């Protein structure tokens, strides 16, 4: 009699544990940051913080080594602190990478460390847990390369099978930082903003942190929200913004704001925290939030 009572209980406990395990496996942690390494920069602190967070993947949003993205810049400033993390990295190029002809230093880096390997074009699509991540090149927007990249992006979204998606490129379509809106990147923005599978857009370029939950396709049956982040705080000199700091949305300035964005991605949700990478405040949350979607 006892066995008949206990067996269902044990079975229920086992199923509960399996369900909990499956739920745990469905989430993944990603660290994202751009604008990283320079002489006298903050790249050591952001590398240390990233290591401490132990993410499954790391997304680097361009301008990895200043000021020209040369092989020497990568060797002298980027690799000494970030090399141990590169097995987890997916990267996109920034404008400074192209200060070396054809982004040759960057191309060698991603070939050597599979960040990821892409061949001639520097855009890619990857999957992690339930999510898709698409990386693009904001310096390849016109001519044949521009047409090829937009065709790639449309195909990647078309073949996405409803998976929640992150899209990243270097120069932000919208920014209240020093450089401001990069209007030429609207060719990418207009494609991704029309797709409800895209939940997050990650940018660098402006050396500050900014998060905005934007209403897109307003007034249409496709109206929805799309969260955008600028995280150009990986070690390059920090800059003030024309707009004063807004707690929980915009952090600018030249001191104490180096940091990285931590994302936890679930099957139908994500959460974020922007964490400080300075000294005794290493890992202090300066911004955080979460979103659940259908």
| Average pLDDT for 262-290 | 94
Place of tokens 């301008």: 63
Asked if pLDDT for residue 45 goes beyond 60, the answer is yes
Q: For position 256, what pLDDT does the model report?
A: 73
What's the pLDDT at 60?
98
Out of 50-59, 95-104, 255-264, least confident range: 255-264
DSSP state of 159: T
The predicted-structure confidence for 116-146, as pLDDT tens digits, reads as follows: 999 999 999 999 999 999 999 999 999 999 9
User: In this structure, is residue 70 part of a structural domain?
Assistant: yes
Q: Please say whether the beta carbons of 284 and 275 come within 8 A.
A: yes
Give the mean pLDDT of the chain: 91
The whole-number average pLDDT for the span 71-91 is: 98
Instruction: Dump strand ranges (E) for 146-284.
Output: 165-168, 198-203, 209-216, 224-231, 250-251, 259-265, 269-276
Q: What average pLDDT does range 236-244 have in this prediction?
A: 91
Residue 24 domain flag: no
Q: Which domain holds residue 224?
A: 35-292
Within a domain: 146: yes
45 vs 6, higher pLDDT? 45
Report which of residues 256 and 64 the model is more confident about: 64
Instruction: Encode pLDDT of 27-40 as tens digits.
Output: 999 999 999 999 99
Q: Are 237 and 38 in contact (CB under 8 A)?
A: yes
C-alpha closest to that of 229 among 208, 197, 265, 201: 201
Please report which residue ranges of 27-136 form alpha helices under DSSP H. 43-53, 71-73, 79-82, 104-113
Q: What is the CATH number for 225?
A: 3.60.21.10
Q: Domain count of the chain?
A: 1
Q: Among residues 257, 265, 259, which one has the least CA distance to residue 227?
A: 265
Q: Is residue 13 over pLDDT 50?
A: no
- What pLDDT, on the 0 to 100 scale, is given for residue 30? 98
Q: What is the mean pLDDT of residues 213-222?
A: 93
Q: Determine, yes or no, domain membership for 240.
A: yes
Provide the pLDDT confidence category of residue 269 given band limits of 50, 70 and 90: very high
Residue 10 lies in a domain: no
Is residue 208 situated within a structural domain? yes
The two counts, helices (H) then strands (E), for the chain are 7, 13
**Are 253 and 279 a contacting pair, CB within 8 Å?**
no
- Rounded to whole angstroms, the Cα distance separating 292 from 226 reads 12
pLDDT given at position 25: 52
Tell me whether residue 14 is in a domain.
no
The pLDDT, as a whole number, for residue 3 is 42
Residue at token pair 């290493």: 282
Read off the pLDDT of each residue in 95-105 and give the average, rounded to a whole number.
98
* Residue 30: inside a domain: no
């Amino acid at each position: 009699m006892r066995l008949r009572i206990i067996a269902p209980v044990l079975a229920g406990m086992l199923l509960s544990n399996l369900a909990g395990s499956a739920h745990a496996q469905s989430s993944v942690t990603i660290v994202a940051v751009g604008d990283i390494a320079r002489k006298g920069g903050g790249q050591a602190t952001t590398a240390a913080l990233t290591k401490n967070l132990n993410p499954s993947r790391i997304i680097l949003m361009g301008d990895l080594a200043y000021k020209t993205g040369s092989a020497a810049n990568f060797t002298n400033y980027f690799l000494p602190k970030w090399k141990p993390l590169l097995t987890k990295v997916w990267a996109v190029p920034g404008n400074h990478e192209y200060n070396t002809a054809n982004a040759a230093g960057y191309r060698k880096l991603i070939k050597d460390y599979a960040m990821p390997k892409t061949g001639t074009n520097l855009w890619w699509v990857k999957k992690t847990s339930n999510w898709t991540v698409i990386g693009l090149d904001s310096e390849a927007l016109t001519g044949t390369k521009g047409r090829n990249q937009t065709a790639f992006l449309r195909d990647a979204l078309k073949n996405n099978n409803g998976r929640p998606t992150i899209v990243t490129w270097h120069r932000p379509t919208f920014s209240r930082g020093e450089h401001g809106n990069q209007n030429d990147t609207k060719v990418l923005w207009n494609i991704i903003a029309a797709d409800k599978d895209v939940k997050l857009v990650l940018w660098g370029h402006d050396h500050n942190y900014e998060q905005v939950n934007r209403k897109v396709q307003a007034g249409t049956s496709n109206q929805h929200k799309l969260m955008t982040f600028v995280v150009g705080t990986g070690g390059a000199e920090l800059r003030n913004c024309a707009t004063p700091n807004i707690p929980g949305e915009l952090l600018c300035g030249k001191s104490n704001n180096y940091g990285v964005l931590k994302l936890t991605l679930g099957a139908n949700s994500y959460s974020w925290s922007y964490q400080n990478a300075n000294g005794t405040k290493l890992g202090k949350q300066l911004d955080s939030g979460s979103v659940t979607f259908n």
